[in-house]
Chain A
Amino acid sequence: MLLNRRALVKASLAGGISVGLTGCSLLPGKASGQPDSYVGAVGLPDGSFGVSAFDRSGSILWQTPVETRCHSGCNRPGMGETVFFERRPGWSFYVFDATAGTRKHRVGAKAGEHFVGHGIFSTDGRWLYVTASRYEKGEGIIAVYDAEQDYRRTDTFDLNGIGPHELTLHPDGETLVIGLGGILTHPDYDRMKLNLETMDPALLLMDRHSGNIVGRFKPPHHQQSARHVSVSNSGRVYVAYQYQGPLYETPPLLARLEKGTLREYRFDEDTQIALANYIASVVAHPENDLVAAASPVGGTAIVFRGSTGELVNRVSIADCAGIQALAGGDFLVSSGRGKLVQLGAATPARELADLPVHWDHHLV
């Protein structure tokens, strides 16, 4: 996107240069043993890009410039490293010291491949699994890197499909859960969607050792691009769609995997409309049954119960996208307008901070 310079410069002048915590002294901690800082890809007021981390007191821990816009990232378990991926078509990913923000590695995509913005580590912190595309043939792959050998590429798993996006690790520690969006793109044609009529999206389960696909689950409509995924601590798998059909159609945008099929959630009509056929991220809370999803296009974030589909909260947050589960059962939602909002089932949404940055899609 083109940054709106005028708005940004104004925002940054108004917001100052540090995190402005609004009405509280500490941000809540993350749920379930995650590091106590928050990291996200950001767009900056001067039109450049970075990766930014802040702590619970609202102080920026570090903000490291990157060459192009990044999308999402992941923490390396036990090793104090955070990895961020350039967004599609991504030609590199970056490894940062999680404490100081210094850039330890920049790993380029192999010739003929590009990354798509997401990756996940094995629980022992050794293997990094990255979604990628062999763009000439349009083949989706998982690229495997050995973090213990300075992120050397060690393996490639074929997905037999187009357009992988987010992946995560099942709590069994062995199964990769992968959103296969189904959309064909090619770097020569910017971000143009080349196959909207013949898309074939799916939720994939893959054995992370062998690369064997052990489950492939297709949404009912071929234009329900299955791009984002999350798994609860109990192992329930969630998938979020970005519907590629017209705006006047409002199909379900979220589903859970149950008994070998995708069981979709359909909310009331107003909520369906408010989500604008686009979910940027979905997160299952590790401490409870709640699931949060955010739509920047609709400027709407929701929280619902995973087991029943009951909608328990819906708020308007302009350009919201990133979600992080908080200790105590709530969620933190970030927005492209620099907001951080706490959202849960029991209490009204609460704005915690307003920063002079654009948070990109995912908060790590």
Chain B
Amino acid sequence: MHPITRLMCTSILAVLSPLTWANDANAQARHQWHEGIANGYEALSSETADLNMAARKYCNAPAPDSRKLLEAAWLDAFLAWQRVRFVDFGPVENNNLSWQFQFWPDPKNLIARKAAYLIGNDEPITPQVISQSGVAVQGFPMMEYLLFDQQLNAGDHALPAARTCELLTNVARHAKSNSDELMDGWQAFRPHYLETDQYHDTTIRAGMAALEILEERRLAQPMGLRGNGKRNPYITDAWRSGNTLMTVEATVDGLRQFFLPGLATLLEAMGKSDLATRIRKQFSEVQQNFPGAHLPMATALNEEDQFRVLQSLYVDISQLATLVNDQAAVALGVVRGFNSSDGD
């Protein structure tokens, strides 16, 4: 080869290789995301299967031990959901599956009203009834209400009352069926996800949205840092069972496990390894400094020393959101817009 030709080829390669590299990184990131989310959905499916069994066992033979196991199974399954909650695209959009798993927030207390209606009438509570009862009935918050609501537990309909058990077991079955549908749907979605370039931005936006919701709606608002300034535990996740902070922790953990690897791949391919490292470090910071996750939100909001702990968590998550939503997203050219993320 003539030197000039060789030189030209080298130049062309020099121009092409970053592009090729970027395309490889995009493909690799999507593979990582798909696989990670598949693992998350598999865990959700497995945990909801356990929850379904635990609900049946308890209602067949109510006892303190089986109740304890049921409550633990509910929490494990709900936390498995929290880990994949950031995924707002793909099969989880079908039939509003995301809303079915978790109807939230519930400012009108529809969950309690729907439960009272279903428990209070004489019609058998069947899988069909659950399917037709709307998202406030169909997921984890309804089961939490049946297991943990103080008012319900103090009355005649407290578990293991027959109607309440009927509702609980059918909702558990519904969640199990939805989890299986989601897992199967995610596998069937694989070729589309890997082949369609737009899912690159979609996935990054999903992680960004989850962090923004975490920072603003799951922490800042209940902490009274927005709006009327009043602290309000009742707009948090899992307030009835006192597990709010565990759900926050699980969401962060899910993002770290299933979202971060693909994001880091993209940043590193762009020569932004420093930023990837800082994001990894910030995830660790959040998790290492996490306040006692068993601290109920009501306590954290009411007691000033605990509130300070919550403030530290908020600052940690806020810093994480800044790194991902501002710096990484800007570096990757991904925008969450006023109109694009919530238009009409």
* Interface-side segment among B75-83, B191-199, B271-279, B296-304: B191-199
The answer for the CA separation of A6 and B342 in the assembled complex, in Å, is 18
Collect the chain B residues with CB atoms within 8 Å of residue A337's CB. 335, 337-338
Asked if A165 is at the interface of the complex by the 8 Å CB criterion, the answer is yes
Collect the chain A residues with CB atoms within 8 Å of residue B212's CB. 2, 4
The answer for the CA separation of A188 and B93 in the assembled complex, in Å, is 19
Partner of B340, one of A6, A248, A299, A359: A299
The answer for the CA separation of A113 and B325 in the assembled complex, in Å, is 37
Asked if B96 is at the interface of the complex by the 8 Å CB criterion, the answer is yes
Assess the B339–A319 pair: CB atoms within 8 A: yes
On whether A360 and B135 interact (CB within 8 A), knowing A192-B96, A247-B202, the answer reads no
B343 CB, nearest partner CB in chain A, Å:
6
Partner of B326, one of A7, A87, A247: A7
Partner of A361, one of B103, B110, B336, B344: B344
Assess the B192–A319 pair: CB atoms within 8 A: no
Can you list, as one digit per residue, whether each of A211-234 has a CB less than 8 Å from chain B (1) or not (0)?
000000000000000010000000
Asked if A273 is at the interface of the complex by the 8 Å CB criterion, the answer is yes
Q: Which of A132-169 contact B (CB under 8 A)?
A: 165
Assess the A321–B335 pair: CB atoms within 8 A: no
The answer for the CA separation of A165 and B343 in the assembled complex, in Å, is 12
Asked if A246 is at the interface of the complex by the 8 Å CB criterion, the answer is yes
Collect the chain A residues with CB atoms within 8 Å of residue B344's CB. 71, 87-88, 116-117, 165, 227, 280, 361
Which one of B89, B103, B108, B338 has the greatest number of beta carbons of chain A within 10 Å? B338
Can you list, as one digit per residue, whether each of A174-204 has a CB less than 8 Å from chain B (1) or not (0)?
0000000000000011011110110000000
The answer for the CA separation of A248 and B226 in the assembled complex, in Å, is 38
- What's the interface size class on A, roughly? 35 or more
The answer for the CA separation of A52 and B326 in the assembled complex, in Å, is 27
Assess the B199–A189 pair: CB atoms within 8 A: no
Collect the chain A residues with CB atoms within 8 Å of residue B325's CB. 4, 6-7
Can you list, as one digit per residue, whether each of A337-364 has a CB less than 8 Å from chain B (1) or not (0)?
1000000000000000000001111000
* CB-CB nearest in chain A for B226: A47
Assess the B108–A336 pair: CB atoms within 8 A: no
Collect the chain B residues with CB atoms within 8 Å of residue A6's CB. 322, 325-326
* CB-CB nearest in chain B for A338: B338
Asked if A255 is at the interface of the complex by the 8 Å CB criterion, the answer is no
Collect the chain B residues with CB atoms within 8 Å of residue A297's CB. 340, 343
A263 CB, nearest partner CB in chain B, Å:
26
Can you list, as one digit per residue, whether each of A231-272 has a CB less than 8 Å from chain B (1) or not (0)?
000000000000000111000000000000000000000000
* CB-CB nearest in chain B for A197: B95
Partner of B110, one of A43, A87, A188, A248: A188
Collect the chain A residues with CB atoms within 8 Å of residue B198's CB. 247, 273, 276
* CB-CB nearest in chain A for B208: A4
A14 CB, nearest partner CB in chain B, Å:
14
On whether A321 and B99 interact (CB within 8 A), knowing A4-B212, A188-B110, A246-B192, the answer reads no
Asked if B71 is at the interface of the complex by the 8 Å CB criterion, the answer is no
Q: Which of B192-222 contact A (CB under 8 A)?
A: 192, 195-199, 202, 212-213, 216-217
Asked if B60 is at the interface of the complex by the 8 Å CB criterion, the answer is no
Asked if A119 is at the interface of the complex by the 8 Å CB criterion, the answer is no
The answer for the CA separation of A259 and B16 in the assembled complex, in Å, is 50
Collect the chain A residues with CB atoms within 8 Å of residue B93's CB. 246
On whether A192 and B89 interact (CB within 8 A), knowing A4-B212, A319-B338, A319-B340, the answer reads no
Asked if A318 is at the interface of the complex by the 8 Å CB criterion, the answer is yes
Can you list, as one digit per residue, whether each of B277-291 has a CB less than 8 Å from chain A (1) or not (0)?
000000000000000
Assess the A319–B195 pair: CB atoms within 8 A: no
Assess the A336–B96 pair: CB atoms within 8 A: no
Collect the chain A residues with CB atoms within 8 Å of residue B103's CB. 189
Collect the chain A residues with CB atoms within 8 Å of residue B312's CB. none
Asked if B341 is at the interface of the complex by the 8 Å CB criterion, the answer is yes
Q: Which of B69-112 contact A (CB under 8 A)?
A: 89-90, 93, 95-96, 99, 103, 108, 110
Assess the B322–A336 pair: CB atoms within 8 A: no
Collect the chain A residues with CB atoms within 8 Å of residue B89's CB. 247
Which one of B95, B197, B326, B342 has the greatest number of beta carbons of chain A within 10 Å? B342
Collect the chain A residues with CB atoms within 8 Å of residue B197's CB. 273
Collect the chain B residues with CB atoms within 8 Å of residue A299's CB. 335, 337, 340
Which one of B135, B212, B216, B337 has the greatest number of beta carbons of chain A within 10 Å? B337
Assess the A192–B135 pair: CB atoms within 8 A: yes
The answer for the CA separation of A278 and B199 in the assembled complex, in Å, is 15
Collect the chain B residues with CB atoms within 8 Å of residue A312's CB. none
A106 CB, nearest partner CB in chain B, Å:
20
Q: Which of A289-339 contact B (CB under 8 A)?
A: 296-297, 299, 318-321, 335-337
The answer for the CA separation of A226 and B141 in the assembled complex, in Å, is 34
B200 CB, nearest partner CB in chain A, Å:
11
Assess the B340–A296 pair: CB atoms within 8 A: yes
Collect the chain B residues with CB atoms within 8 Å of residue A246's CB. 90, 93, 192
The answer for the CA separation of A280 and B199 in the assembled complex, in Å, is 20
Which one of A7, A165, A192, A335 has the greatest number of beta carbons of chain B within 10 Å? A7
Collect the chain B residues with CB atoms within 8 Å of residue A5's CB. 216
Collect the chain A residues with CB atoms within 8 Å of residue B196's CB. 247-248
Asked if A1 is at the interface of the complex by the 8 Å CB criterion, the answer is yes
Asked if A3 is at the interface of the complex by the 8 Å CB criterion, the answer is yes
The answer for the CA separation of A43 and B339 in the assembled complex, in Å, is 10
Pull 18 A–B residue pairs with CB atoms less than 8 Å apart, ordered by A: A1-B342, A2-B217, A4-B325, A6-B325, A7-B326, A116-B344, A189-B99, A196-B96, A246-B90, A247-B199, A248-B196, A280-B339, A296-B340, A299-B337, A319-B340, A336-B338, A358-B339, A361-B343
* A-B CB proximity, top 9 nearest: A319-B337, A1-B342, A336-B338, A358-B338, A296-B339, A296-B340, A248-B192, A321-B339, A248-B196
Contacts beyond the supplied A192-B135, A296-B338, A337-B337: 20 A-B pairs with Cβ under 8 Å: A6-B322, A7-B326, A87-B344, A88-B344, A197-B95, A246-B93, A247-B198, A247-B199, A280-B343, A297-B340, A318-B335, A318-B340, A319-B335, A319-B337, A319-B339, A335-B337, A335-B339, A336-B340, A358-B338, A358-B339
- Measured CB to CB, the residues of B under 8 A from A are 89-90, 93, 95-96, 99, 103, 108, 110, 134-135, 192, 195-199, 202, 212-213, 216-217, 226, 322, 325-326, 335-344
